[in-house]
Amino acid sequence: MINIQTIKDIQTYLEKELTEEYPREEIKALSSIIIKTVLDASGLHHLAMPDEQVTRKESAKVINIAKELKTGKPLQYILGETSFYNCKIKVNDAVLIPRPETEEMVYLIIKENRGFRGSLLDIGTGSGCIAVALAINLPGSAVSGTDNSDAILEVARENASLNGAKVTFIKSDIFNPDIEMSGKVDIIVSNPPYVRESEKKLMNRNVLDHEPHSALFVPDDSPLIFYEAILDMATKILADRGKIYFEINEVMGNLMKDLLVRYKYSSVELFKDLNNRDRIIKAINNG
């Protein structure tokens, strides 16, 4: 008999139910997010009010979430949302779950472009998290995002609306882009697929079983295929002295440097993520 009557009971129940599938510290993190979402409470509510009563409906939600978590389904897909750079981002299985490394790229772009008033294009926007966060934090900019799927763009538009961000979303294929719709831009940013097929064996089951492979994987024999297509597009739309920012595979730093030099970019810089891995690359277009 499951008896969940208080916030503390939720924590106890989740720790017992998930102990075989998740490490203890991860269960604590999951519990905090579940409590915050199900109870629509602040982040520290469960610590400050452990004896607060929960309703039968809230208890049933927690039980159903735990059942789905035990199948390996990511919590973000179960809840239908996640947090990204202080924005609430809706997600479903059509789009990738935003990663902390991508937040680091957004932070870098904002830090380096305070007061920016030009145009910015997010290529392969997915959930729209990058475009939304940049539009909010660079309010003088004109932000656009592209993707090749109506279903994906529907999610992106919902996220822009949800966060009050002014973003123009355009349906366009990286490999067959609509140049006229994009127009000239001053900054290009992209987090394209970059995980090599051979790296699948290193990835967690919940990613492989639930997240869209088309947004993750590239062939081993052409791992830079998306970057090359974007740089081909950039030759037509990126302004002289315009900037380009990419999230990259940690093992591809030197290859990406060489690629950008080949496309006549200057001031090529690699940035490491919080795990000390090459994760972001930036360059300036020489025209």
More confident residue, 206 or 18: 18
pLDDT value at position 85?
A: 96
Compute, in degrees rounded to 10, the torsion defined by CA atoms 4, 7, 9, 10. 80
Residue with tokens 């009010």: 49
146: pLDDT strictly greater than 80: yes
pLDDT value at position 82?
A: 95
Q: How many CA atoms lie within 13 A of 13 on its CB side?
A: 22
pLDDT in tens, 152-167: 999 999 999 999 999 9
Q: Looking at the DSSP assignment, which residues form a beta bridge with residue 187?
A: 120, 243
**Average of per-residue pLDDT values in the chain:** 93
Considering only 115-129, 181-195, 244-258, which range has the smallest mean pLDDT? Answer: 181-195
Pick the CATH number of 92-285 from 3.40.50.800, 3.40.50.300, 3.40.50.150, 3.30.1320.10: 3.40.50.150
Contacts of 189 (CB under 8 A, 6+ apart): 105, 109, 120, 121, 122, 123, 130, 134, 244, 245, 246
287: pLDDT strictly greater than 80: no
150: pLDDT strictly greater than 80: yes
Q: What percent of the chain has pLDDT over 90?
A: 83
pLDDT value at position 44?
A: 60
pLDDT in tens, 202-220: 888 888 889 999 999 999 9
pLDDT in tens, 85-139: 999 999 999 999 999 999 999 999 999 999 999 999 999 999 999 999 999 999 9
What are the sequence ranges of the domains in the chain? 7-71, 92-285
pLDDT in tens, 27-66: 998 998 999 889 887 656 556 678 889 999 999 999 999 9
Q: What is the full DSSP assignment across 65-132?
A: HHHHHTTT--HHHHHTEEEETTEEEE--TTSPPP-HHHHHHHHHHHHHTTT--SEEEEES-TTSHHHH
**Two tokens, residue 164:** 């009050």
pLDDT value at position 45?
A: 56
Rounded to an integer, the average pLDDT of 17-24 is 91
Spatial distance between the Cα atoms of 169 and 154, rounded to a whole number of angstroms: 9
Q: Which residues of 144-157 are buried (b: 16+ CB within 10 A; e: fewer)?
A: bbbbebeebbebbe
Hey, what amino acid is at 6? Answer: T
1: pLDDT strictly greater than 70: no
258: pLDDT strictly greater than 90: yes
Strands, sheet with 142-147, edge to edge from the N-terminal-most edge strand: 167-171, 142-147, 119-123, 185-190, 238-247, 278-285, 265-272
